[in-house]
Chains A and B, each alone.
Chain A
Amino acid sequence: MALIRLREPLKRLADGRAEHTLAGATVIDLLRELERGRPPLAGWILDERGRVRRHINVFVNGELAGADTAVADHDRVDVIPAISGGSR
């Protein structure tokens, strides 16, 4: 089981909890499980194609990860909006 950590506004949509312990072999597996079990969160991290939204970064144990990055028991997975902007 890995530990997923969320910040606002995702935390608010995920039962108001910042930390969620979930099972999954990869980042995308964990995120699917996260959204599936918390309907208000559906579509906020993953789009309809099942992809992680472009400006959301996922870190596993502090390292930037991809959708297919493997996740092991006790890993820490942070879901954090990317630093973006400057265009408007």
Chain B
Amino acid sequence: MTELVVGTRKGLFVLDGEPGGFSVGARAFAGESVEYGIRDPRSGRLFAAVTSPFYGPKLFFSDDAGGDWEQATGIALPEGGEHALNRIWVIAPGEEDGTLYAGGDPGVLFESRDGGETWELNRALWEEPTRSRWQPGGGGLCLHSIVTWPGEPQRLAIGISAAGVWLTDDGGSSWRMGNEGLVARYLPDEVAEFVPEGPPDQIALCVHRVQRARRQPERMFLQFHGGVYRSDNAGESWSEIGDGLPSDFGFPLALDPADPDSAYVIPLTADLDRVTPEGNVRVYETRDAGSSWTARGEGLPAEHSYLTILREAFDSTGEGDGLELYFGATSGEVFGSRDAGASWFTVSPRLAPVLSVSAP
């Protein structure tokens, strides 16, 4: 039995089941935009990031999806300033018991040490001296990727669109950029390639998603706004690995924890045409760290299917031969694979527009 926590524009759905037999076990926040939902596998507690167009972004938690939800406290920017929190993009369990992280717009990180009931803004990132030069992407100034280091809670990588990759080795007391090698094709040639100590425009790096190989933590993968990258030095520098893909534009990214050379991406046609290429839904897999890519689409729509899959709407559970992959589209479909992408089935054909998929 697999459980999927799916955030949609019309509420949170908890799906339970197996191939051919997934059903909606619970729906919460009916009618609300749930940008991200996750169950913390350590505590079993569910979290939902909900943005009301009227009442702003809130984070809720519950031990029972169909029961009562409680609002977490501390998810807000300093009072009396010039900024307000616009959205919570992602929630990630930390390495230490009871620790969780949440990323939001405008490029902010929150940390909880009590299992997600109370939260505190990461001041060092909030007060980062370059912040005034950070530029929002089309979805806002979103902190969407929070990548922990197995067994080393002080080491963290985050991805911000469009302010690049940031690294800390001291639990978030200080941050440094990890962008060397990234090439922003949307910038003039003179400043497209990031180099340390470069001009200010170079910070406008539209990172779409970052993941870390759990068994080889120095190895990371990154989906960029045009370009797929790999790092072998914990995000200090990056090499492009997108050759062989039908398009190197896309948002989501998943890995097989058992194989540091593995990555899965879902290409979209281009930044100006954000749908699956040629109406053909395909997940692309590498097992050689990006030297080659193989299309994985058996069971997925192969024609007349112009889907958009958002950055948080692709997740995995298990590993190796038992790796399960799940993704959802803004057109409401959710697809899954229980054989590491070799074949796919429809989990749900008609949910509301999918914003996130989490497979605890």
Contacts and interface: CB of A to CB of B under 8 A. Distances in A.
Interface of A: 9-10, 40, 43-45, 47-51, 53, 55-56, 81-82, 84-85, 88
Interface in B36-68: 53-56, 58
A48 B81 contact: yes
Contacts of B9: 88
30 contacts: A43-B55, A43-B58, A43-B76, A44-B55, A44-B56, A45-B55, A47-B56, A47-B85, A48-B76, A48-B77, A48-B78, A48-B79, A48-B80, A48-B83, A48-B84, A48-B85, A49-B80, A49-B81, A49-B82, A49-B84, A50-B80, A53-B55, A53-B56, A55-B53, A55-B54, A56-B54, A56-B55, A82-B54, A85-B53, A88-B353
Contacts of B53: 55, 84-85
Tell me what chain B mostly uses at the interface: helix, strand, loop, or mixed. loop
Nearest to B80: A50
A43 B82 CA distance: 15
Contact of A53 (B54, B81, B83, B353): B54
In the A-B complex, list the 10 residue pairs whose CB atoms are closest, starting with the nearest: A47-B84, A81-B54, A48-B77, A44-B55, A48-B84, A55-B54, A55-B53, A48-B79, A48-B76, A49-B84
Contacts of B84: 47-49, 51
Tell me what chain A mostly uses at the interface: helix, strand, loop, or mixed. loop
B71 interface: yes
Interface of B: 9, 33, 53-56, 58, 71, 76-85, 353
B56 A43 contact: yes
Contacts, number: 45
Nearest to A49: B84
Contacts of B78: 48
B109 to A, nearest CB: 16
A11 to B, nearest CB: 13
A47 B53 CA distance: 12
Nearest to A40: B71
Contacts of B83: 48-49
Contacts of B71: 40
Contacts of B81: 48-49
The interface centre, meaning the residue of A43, A45, A56 with most chain B CB atoms within 10 A of its CB, is A43
Contacts of B58: 43
Given A53-B55, A56-B55, 14 more contacts: A9-B55, A10-B55, A44-B56, A47-B85, A48-B76, A48-B79, A48-B83, A48-B85, A49-B84, A55-B53, A55-B54, A82-B54, A85-B53, A88-B353
A36 to B, nearest CB: 11
Nearest to A10: B55
A50 B76 CA distance: 12
A22 B33 CA distance: 33
A61 B353 CA distance: 40
A51 B81 CA distance: 11
A49 B76 CA distance: 10
A81 B52 CA distance: 11
A34 to B, nearest CB: 14
B33 to A, nearest CB: 8
Contacts of A44: 55-56
Contacts of A56: 54-55
A46 to B, nearest CB: 9
B54 A50 contact: no
